[in-house]
């Protein structure tokens, strides 16, 4: 099957339960993500965000329930050889996961090289294009060890974009970054949303990122999607779990909390 590059695919998560031994991490997750949408999955540490993204990316199989991408069950999609996949899925991992012994360009072209999908000349020009896209032009021959944390994140994003994905997963794209770098990475993800009609799922506990990039947010709590809506709706949510998340994330100032108290007539 020939694919049309980078057009965006929908994702359907249907009653997904996931357990490790006695520990039930996900307890019936349902989500519909539209093609071309950027969804932020929010939640506190240990709520199962990384597990959910690994299941959606086909890196693990759920205990029960189903995940479909572009109308295909994830295991069926994963079983197809690269040149028969009708769309491509890519991922930016929590800790960048660049191979330390390979240069930036070798890291970026590794997947294309393995798939034997492109000529050397094409790989080099794609590499130049995605490095420019993440504002890392000229770093082709650097080793990951020579890069700062923020630069590594940019290269990890360039590597994920190089295959021209239809669906891009990010797991904590701003973990370990300071507020300035966090905003810069957020603006890059927002630029991808603007320039490529692809679907993005950004798993994070960082509300700054959600504010910059999300078309919609979904809140993971107690193993389920507790709430979904726009970022603004989320900020105004009366749900106690959401409010304590927002307070812990220091998004709600004392003024917001006072405003909310006025609106609801009770403590926010």
Ligand X SMILES: Nc1ncnc2c1ncn2[C@@H]1O[C@H](COP(=O)(O)OP(=O)(O)OP(=O)(O)O)[C@@H](O)[C@H]1O
Task: Determine the Cα–Cα distance for residues 188 and 175; give it in Å rounded to an integer.
Answer: 15
Nearest to ligand X of 49, 243 (CB atom): 49
Q: Which of residues 139-198 bind ligand X (CB under 6 A)?
A: 172
Is 63 an interacting residue with respect to Mg ion (CB under 5 A)?
Answer: no
Nearest to Mg ion of 88, 202 (CB atom): 202
Q: Which helix (H) or strand (E) holds 94?
A: none
How many alpha carbons lie under 13 Å from residue 219 in its C-beta half-sphere? 22
Rounded least distance, CB 50 to ligand X, Å: 3
**Residue 111 phi, psi (nearest 5):** -65, -40
Is 137 an interacting residue with respect to ligand X (CB under 6 A)?
Answer: no
Is 15 an interacting residue with respect to Mg ion (CB under 5 A)?
Answer: no
Is 175 an interacting residue with respect to Mg ion (CB under 5 A)?
Answer: no
Query: Are 203 and 171 contacting, i.e. CB atoms less than 8 angstroms apart?
Result: yes
- Tokens describing residue 123: 């790989």
Is 16 an interacting residue with respect to ligand X (CB under 6 A)?
Answer: no
Query: Are 229 and 216 contacting, i.e. CB atoms less than 8 angstroms apart?
Result: yes
Is 205 an interacting residue with respect to ligand X (CB under 6 A)?
Answer: yes
Q: Taking CB within 5 to 8 Å according to partner kind, which of ligand X, Mg ion, none is near residue 37?
A: none
Of 128, 130, 129, which is closest to residue 90 (Cα–Cα)?
Answer: 130
Nearest to ligand X of 25, 168 (CB atom): 25
Chain positions contacting ligand X, by CB under 6 A: 20, 23, 25, 43, 45-51, 172, 205
């Amino acid at each position: 099957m020939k694919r049309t590059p980078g057009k965006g695919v929908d994702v359907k998560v249907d009653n997904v339960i996931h357990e490790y031994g006695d520990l039930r991490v996900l307890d019936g997750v349902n989500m519909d993500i539209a093609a071309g949408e950027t969804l932020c999955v929010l939640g506190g540490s240990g709520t199962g965000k990384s597990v959910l993204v690994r299941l959606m990316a086909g890196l693990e199989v759920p205990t029960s329930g189903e995940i479909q991408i572009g109308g295909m069950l994830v295991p069926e999609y994963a079983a197809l050889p690269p040149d028969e996949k009708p769309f491509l899925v890519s991922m930016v991992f929590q800790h960048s996961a660049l191979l330390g012994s390979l240069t930036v360009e070798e890291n970026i072209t590794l997947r294309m090289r393995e798939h034997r999908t492109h000529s050397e000349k094409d790989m080099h020009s794609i590499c130049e294009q995605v490095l420019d896209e993440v504002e890392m032009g000229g770093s082709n021959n650097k080793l990951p060890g020579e890069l700062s944390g923020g630069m590594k994140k940019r290269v990890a994003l360039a590597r994920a974009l190089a295959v021209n994905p239809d669906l891009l997963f990010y797991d904590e794209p701003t973990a370990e970054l300071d507020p300035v770098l966090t905003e810069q990475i957020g603006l890059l993800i927002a630029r991808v949303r603007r320039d490529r009609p692809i679907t993005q799922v950004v798993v994070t506990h960082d509300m700054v990122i959600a504010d910059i990039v999300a078309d919609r947010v979904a809140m993971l709590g107690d193993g389920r999607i507790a709430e979904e809506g726009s970022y603004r709706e989320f900020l105004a949510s009366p749900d106690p779990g959401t409010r304590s998340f927002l307070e812990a994330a220091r998004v709600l100032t004392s003024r917001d909390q006072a405003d909310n108290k006025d609106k609801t007539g009770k403590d926010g």
